[in-house]
Structure 1
Amino acid sequence: MQKTILYISYDGMTDQLGQSQVLPYLCELKNYGFDFHLISCEKPEKFKQHKGIIEAICEKNGIRWYPLAYTKRPPVYSTIKDIRNIRRLAFQLQKQHHFDMVHCRGYIPALVGLQLKKKAGVRFLFDMRGLWANEKVDAGSWNLNNPLYRSIYNHFKKKERQFFENADYTISLTQAGQKEIGSWKYIADNPVKIEVIPCCADLTLFDPVRVEEDLVARIRKDTGIHNGEPVLSYLGSIGSWYMLDEMLDFFNVYCRKYPSARFFFITGDQHDLIRNKAAEKNIAAEKIIIRPATRNEVPASISLSTHSVFFIRPTYSKISSSPTKQAELMGMGVPVISNAGVGDTSAIIEKYKSGIVIKDFSEMSYDEAIERLQRFSEGRESIRNGALQYFSLDEGVKKYLRVYKHILDQY
């Protein structure tokens, strides 16, 4: 008998994240007989650009999509408004479809999922994605010296406990996060069911063999990157978590070993900021290349990389972080340079010999890392095989399927 699932995401499907980390899973899980209803909150400009693409994907795969508008301002009140809109729609849909389970991607959706469980008896999957309240503090978004934000933080930490205690199952992105949660007293006293599923990648898309040469040639023409030229790349958004200054410092050291190297930012974000920061560090303008990429262009863009770098602020909350870019870069066989203290990133790099983990953000550490890169013996095929073992969408789907069956078969 077909099971009906309500999937709630605060991230939009018209964002890259929705296209890489939500829809691929739902499209695959749909094949196992689940009827998905999808609520998401869409940024107006992204929705206008990509609405048709997402509608086509959902229609093709029999997913019923209910997009809501995401509001950003004023802070706090806009989020309260979004939560109310999600809750109103979720309960309307519950009356019509009598869901067997609600799959909540993150803390904001989990507020609604918890209510659906308590008021309507809907089984509840808490797909936590990270220690969200702690992330807000670590990012500087919530200043705990401000009574308003301290109150909000305390509210969500109380809710977090309720999510764990009431969820039929919880998903953690990392082993490190699962271990940390298991050490909390209220969890240690009453263990909860947690499955670890990292941010996987569609490794049929992120496959060097499938990259179209015509597309690579077009990107080379757009960027001026020549075949055989050393290229250090950075993939993804430039936000408060990513250490742009330190990555540019690393590139300066990289250029000592690879004098003709270029730094290729595959991003649609903050082009002026990147160029200004590079200029401050006396990096020649022609060495910095910035080009946004659609999802289908990302693998071809990555394929131009000799190496790729991502430094992430190693704060407490980042123990639960699983960078999607790591899966995608490994899928393309590109050696990475990253820092310790971010989820399972270091453990994965070391286990699958897929790159170099720096000790700290010093020039000496950068120099040592680049020396090791020059002696790096792992081939691209070996790195990709590591991705197939750990990050494949198929493996992620299998894990979700086990969790779904456990939740739905226990009643």
Structure 2
Amino acid sequence: MRTRPLKVALLGCGVVGSEVARIMTTHADDLAQRIGAPVELAGVAVRRPSKVREGIDPSLVTTDATALLKRGDIDIAIEVIGGIEPARTLITTAFEHGISVVSANKALLAQDGAALHAAAEANGLDLYYEAAVAGAIPLVRPMRESLAGDKINRVMGIVNGTTNFILDKMDSTGAGYQEALDEATALGYAEADPTADVEGYDAAAKAAILAGIAFHTRVRLDDVYREGMTEVSAADFASAKRMGCTIKLLAILERAADGESVTARVHPAMIPLTHPLASVREAYNAVFVEAEAAGQLMFYGPGAGGAPTASAVLGDLVAVARNKLAEATGPGESAYTQLPVSPMGEVVTRYHISLDVADKPGVLAQVATTFAEHGVSIDTVRQQGKDGEASLVVVTHRAPDAALSGTVEALRKLDTVRGVASIMRVEGE
């Protein structure tokens, strides 16, 4: 074993960073044996140096992350700051000074992953980011290494624990959205401002990263269709149960049947209770991968939290450190296919539509005619009427999303349709 340690700069020391530092300290001997050399925490860059950080030598703490990276003896940087800046500049600085990087920054990778990969490759360095998607679940490396010889056609997953907790509570207890969100906030699953989670931004960033890996093409955050879950209601869950389904916020990535394009989307959807993702409860994550040779695979586990995310960071640290010792690098960006990302309108899916209509003869025929005019076939219809009003629930067969959304807009204009109560896609069948 080499006795000279590999020196690590930790950029950020919040919930995840503090766990990374703790594990590096308490498991130092084991990490050294697994790597083939000791790893030493050589500096910790923070914004608030006065904060007490248990287990971290105060002499290692600095507010000047740039100076830490430029001092000349750092081998690996771990970036757990989050956000776009200063993380982007610091990672670029690390590459310029011969430092490989482990990052947990999904937002930055979704936006500027191509440029960061190019900078790493230009300098002969590693960029690893297992912790950027699905927390502790080993997913990024299996997809870009273990399945490198296979062809992935579809990825569908629950990649945000906050939203899964909220939807699970609505399903299991009958709670409304706000009540379930309040419970998630009280338990620390949801931030004071939960927008990034409940509006699907967090899941969309992860979807962009996974799509790039799965399909060997560049997918940016702007390419991902996104729809939040704040409009999901108890009535939607009641309808889902009548269909033998539940509701999840899903990231869905697909290769077109002709192999000439891909799609990436995030939105709530009904899925059958028989699908493996339907049983994912509380704040857990799970990703279902469909590959040509391997078939169907599911990755499951805690998707967030300090210790689980730190586990993924330390796994990357071990891999990057081994590469350093071998004077080699691991796999970089694979974007050789350069496939276009198709718009949401070209996605083929199914709709569950709930309409408030007048309770009188001919309404169902008028609604059915509207579907037919847009080339959308109806699978099932359920109607309930009372006191001159009625609800009409229609589930379609598979059709292009543009045709389905066009049908909904036409239904809104019918005199007999008083309102479109809800629209939800049906997936996983």
Fold-level similarity (TM above 0.5):
no
TM-score (norm 2): 0.38
Between Structure 1 and Structure 2, the one with more strand by share is: 2
The structure whose Rg is larger is 2
TM-score (norm 1): 0.39
